[in-house]
Amino acid sequence: MSYLRGSANYVWCTTSVLGKGATGAVFQGVDKNNGEPVAVKTFNSQSQTRPIDVQMREFQVLKKVKHENIVKLLAIEEEQDGRGKVIVMELCTGGSLFNILDDPENTYGLAESEFLLVLEHLCAGMKHLRDNNLVHRDLKPGNIMKYIADDGSTIYKLTDFGAARELNEDQQFFSLYGTEEYLHPDVYERAVLRKPVNKTFGATVDLWSIGVTLYHVATGNLPFRPFGGRRNKETMYFITTRKDSGVISGVQAYENAPIEWSKELPNNCRLSYGLKKIVTPLLAGLLEVNKQYIWSFERFFNQVTDILCRKAIHVFNFHTMQSLQAYLHPEDKLSALKAHIQEQTDILPHAQIILFGETLLSKIIDENRVAKGFPVTTIENPFSVFSRENNNVVSAVINGLGNLQSVNSSSSSSTTGTTVGNSVSSTLDGISAEPNSNSNSNRDKKCESIVFPVFANLVSVENDASQAKLACSVGHSCKRTVDRLAIASKLSQDSVNAFVNLLSSELKRLTKQVDHLRELTKAVEKIFTAAERGDAVGIQAIKKFSNSSSVPHSVGNESKSNEWGMELHLRHKQLFSELAPAIAQLYQRYVKDEVLKAEWESTTRQLTCPWKTKASQRASTLVDRLRDGWQHLLRDRATLQRSESLADWYKMVQTIYLQSQILDKDLRTYNNSLESFACRMSQESNERYETLSSYINTLPTKQLTSQTSNLPDSIREEGTKMWRNICDMQQQIALILCDNDLLVDKINNLTINKINSDNTLIEFNDSEKNLTD
């Protein structure tokens, strides 16, 4: 059996399966002309049962669309063996988004940057479809492919247009397509529950599928999850249709349990609070069932554009050692940034000290500069915020790890995969995912334990592989926590150095200002002395040349000069006796003697810095080891599945073999009965022949001749032929019986030889064993 199949310009192997669906499969192939890898979609017999116009629809859609975020069509060709048409597309080596989400690293959703990339590319692909009046009708992570460009960049592309069709904004359709977890409730009611409702559907059913897909990408889970999954279809329909507006998830924890509704993304979601704040309304709009509030595609595209145009500002909160993100509109100003910081830290705008590097942000950005002109920040080079009114520092990351050690001794109890995943996710990925001081409810939440799954004493490759995958998920969560702790340690050190340098700069500036004020005070004193002397000379001149001996009060008021003298003396005393010594003392202590830096180094000398000890890299190594173990168990499970498949195959073969044995026995029985019948018939025929011959011989010759001569010639000839045929048949039966006897003798001889050879082999093995002993 050949696994190679081909068309005029392409060849593919049916063992290189990239994906399978209801109507066909996708294989990896190559271009015969240049060896470039491609993806080839073939169609099965089920797809041939569809109407011709439906079969041709996918070809027509692929020919019509051409966009960077839609899988590129290369060719439509006929298979060489006449099995029908195949679609040749560009190969997306990154796999499907569903497989990416299935990786333990993404158990709780994609990273923030990757989520935004999916959102951008999904929206761009859908906009191209709507610009061409097309609906997809089967949007899900499995139909979004990851393409790695030549420059290493990632592009997500829509694929599988088997259900796509042309549909204007105001048109409706009746046909049912899609995957049930991603279906709009109205479609679900007809397609899954099989209810005879007379409903039509519009293009906006794709928006619901987009909402479910985006929630899945953000959290790693489906938004609506009845206990039992697909088995509990009625509850699934209840969750999606009875939820309130704004609710984006509904989960049933156990059988007949109440539904746990939520209008927020879960704590274990890897998105920052700043992004959650603007993504949650988007999800709520997409997952709306009330027809009064259902979004249009235009609103969806505008909302995504609004999200993607924002500038991400990274901020490090010194008091909680947390990295935050604020998403600002390009035209927002510094006041908007301070408002975002206040929302996530509770630090009032007037109390915020914001540094970028070692410089106050107010010296870099004036109040009127817009956000698109702000300096570029990263997770490792953020704005640092300090409070003028709060001198406490409480690390949210370290507090979140408080239960780690105590859990190790209490984690021996058996834990199901779901429970472990939930507790670990709510602990690890919840730590530092939400701002610690965003709300009192978040601050007062008790941190749950970090629990790795427990492997049962009974070895089960299937269960162990599942537990190993769960352990990898926990490991990745731990690694992300270690990463946050390491970056928090680094940024804390950077913030300390920045603030120390800021203080040094300020003290140096104050010292220079003191020197300047000293000179200025001396100059003012000289001016005062000169003015005082000038007044005295003037008064003397007036007295000498004036006719009157008295001097006007406005001119000769000596109390004013005394007042100036006293005020100048007080100011001189304030500068030289109070301000200057205090600044000099601070300068000597904290600039020249570097007491602050020495105090910090003395305090942290015995402490380990996760950043300096490369804790993240070591955590990566440990997680890789976990993944290696998981991969080994996956291979073992594959081997087990192969053995199980072999067992199933052997069961079938054994059944067929037993059937053949039974049939062989039936054939032997038939052969023996036929042989007995032939012998009996031959014997009886001979006896009958002899009886007839003897009876004929007893008849008179003339009578016989006259009777015989009275028969027609045709009857005599037919009787002769029949008699000859009977004789020939007897001879053939005799030959067959003879051949059967020879075959039976051969079989008996082969059986005897086989038994003798087996006995010889056993004797040889026994003798070899004896020699070994």
**pLDDT tens digits for 166-184?**
766 555 554 556 688 898 8
> Region 182-202: what's the mean pLDDT?
77
Say how many C-beta atoms besides its own lie within 10 A of residue 622's C-beta: 13
Active-site residues: which are they?
138
Does the annotation flag 243 for ligand binding?
Answer: no
Mean pLDDT of the chain: 79
**pLDDT tens digits for 17-63?**
888 877 788 999 999 999 899 999 998 877 776 667 777 888 888 88
pLDDT band of residue 643 (cuts 50, 70, 90) is low
Write down the pLDDT at residue 446. Answer: 40
pLDDT band of residue 407 (cuts 50, 70, 90) is very low
pLDDT band of residue 558 (cuts 50, 70, 90) is low
**pLDDT tens digits for 487-527?**
888 898 898 888 888 888 888 888 888 888 888 888 888 88
Q: Please give the Cα distance from 12 to 16 (Å, whole number).
A: 8
The single-letter DSSP state of residue 68 is T
pTM of the model: 0.73
- In the chain, DSSP finds a helix count (H) and a strand count (E) of 22, 18
Write down the pLDDT at residue 536. Answer: 76
Q: For the residues of 363-396, what is the DSSP string, one character each?
A: HHS-TT--GGGSPP--SSS-EEEEESS------H
Residue 402 scores a pLDDT above 50: no
Q: For the residues of 325-359, what is the DSSP string, one character each?
A: EEEE-TT--HHHHHHHHHHHH---GGGEEEEETTE
Tokens of 629: 């173990």
pLDDT band of residue 391 (cuts 50, 70, 90) is confident
* Max Cα-Cα span within the chain: 212
> Region 218-226: what's the mean pLDDT?
94
Characterise 299 by phi-psi region: left (phi > 0), alpha (psi -120 to 50), beta (else). Answer: alpha
Residue 516 C-beta-side C-alpha neighbours within 13 Å:
6
Write down the pLDDT at residue 647. Answer: 59
More confident residue, 130 or 177: 130
> Region 290-308: what's the mean pLDDT?
92
**pLDDT tens digits for 592-622?**
888 888 888 888 777 777 777 787 888 888 8
Write down the pLDDT at residue 637. Answer: 56
Write down the pLDDT at residue 649. Answer: 60
**Rounded-to-10 torsion of CA 633, 639, 645, 650:** -140
Write down the pLDDT at residue 482. Answer: 85
Residue 547 scores a pLDDT above 70: no
**pLDDT tens digits for 710-754?**
556 666 566 666 666 776 776 677 677 677 667 766 766 665 665
